[in-house]
Copies of this chain bind each other. A is one copy, B any other.
């Protein structure tokens, strides 16, 4: 018997386990010419999936109700009638939350288990690493000596952004929600300073203290009051990469913030929404840098690996409580 996870309800506010439905069935897994049969090995759960669970207009179509949810997956080829894939190959791509599934192979990349752990292809050598590298470089346009602030700094993307910032010669300040995470940012990822937004009495003042020359680049994963506090500290010609807004994804009412416009005018500053898929032509260049830095030991990463197909929804929900350190991955 195989398992599938469907979207049962569009979440109101924070997703709950009742928004998901588990189906156990004995599906037709007989492959046709050109197809492969895949067994899911690792499943990536990511904050952006919350957006696809709503039916609001967005850059990707919403998930359909009562259909399988999809995310980044690493899977093993267990049968093949496609000459491009052999049994035993591992692939990564956007696949359904199913224990087994058929595929034509379209959109899948073969990944090399001998070069990096398979889970890395969902993280530092996958969308996570590409998002960090391309967001920081394409919108942030960093110049050595500048100051970078990263919110959601202990998250999958944030921790890579900070490390790339250091490689590129920036002063890097991370914002995260526990002292343990702040300690990890500094000791493991080489951030210059960290601010715990849960214990800070005045985030705005703490940023000013950590960034005495002001903030040139802000890599924003969270939105909300933390981002408001950063705005008070931006420099002239600052660049703000708006990569995510996890702090407001679950709001049922339209979130309010301070008006950004006066800050942007005063500082001739730029804010730009970043979606990694718009930069596909730059993926090879980015992968070259990421894999080189990883091999050289200049990049490291954290993963929170949860085990068991049934844990996928819980792992996803836990993202919104910051229970992950680095990339949240479910091992099947």
Residues in A lying within 8 Å of B, measured CB to CB: 51, 56-59, 220, 223-224, 227, 236, 242-245, 248-249, 254-275, 278
Contact = CB atoms under 8 A, between A and B. Distances in A.
Nearest to A270: B272
Given A59-B236, A236-B59, A260 B271 contact: yes
B273 A264 contact: yes
Nearest to A239: B272
B257 A242 contact: no
Contacts of A262: 223, 245, 248-249, 255
B271 A270 contact: yes
A263 B236 CA distance: 23
A55 to B, nearest CB: 13
Contact of A227 (B223, B236, B261, B271): B261
Contacts of A255: 258-259, 262
Contacts of A59: 236, 266-268
Nearest to A220: B261
Given A254-B258, A256-B259, A259-B248, A266 B220 contact: no
Nearest to A277: B268
B257 A223 contact: no
A261 B223 CA distance: 6
A266 B275 CA distance: 8
Query: Interface centre among A56, A248, A271, by most B CB within 10 Å?
Result: A271
A254 B259 CA distance: 8
A273 B270 contact: yes
21 contacts: A51-B266, A58-B266, A59-B266, A242-B265, A243-B265, A245-B262, A248-B259, A254-B258, A255-B258, A255-B262, A256-B256, A256-B257, A256-B258, A260-B260, A261-B273, A264-B272, A264-B273, A268-B273, A269-B272, A270-B271, A271-B271
A236 B275 CA distance: 11
Nearest to A245: B261
A261 B268 CA distance: 18
Contacts of A57: 266
Contacts of A245: 259, 261-262, 265
A249 B263 CA distance: 11
Nearest to A255: B259
A12 B267 CA distance: 22
A267 B259 contact: no
Contact of A273 (B220, B223, B266): B266
Contacts of A278: 268
Closest 9 CB pairs of A and B: A264-B273, A223-B261, A255-B259, A265-B273, A245-B261, A257-B259, A270-B272, A242-B264, A271-B271
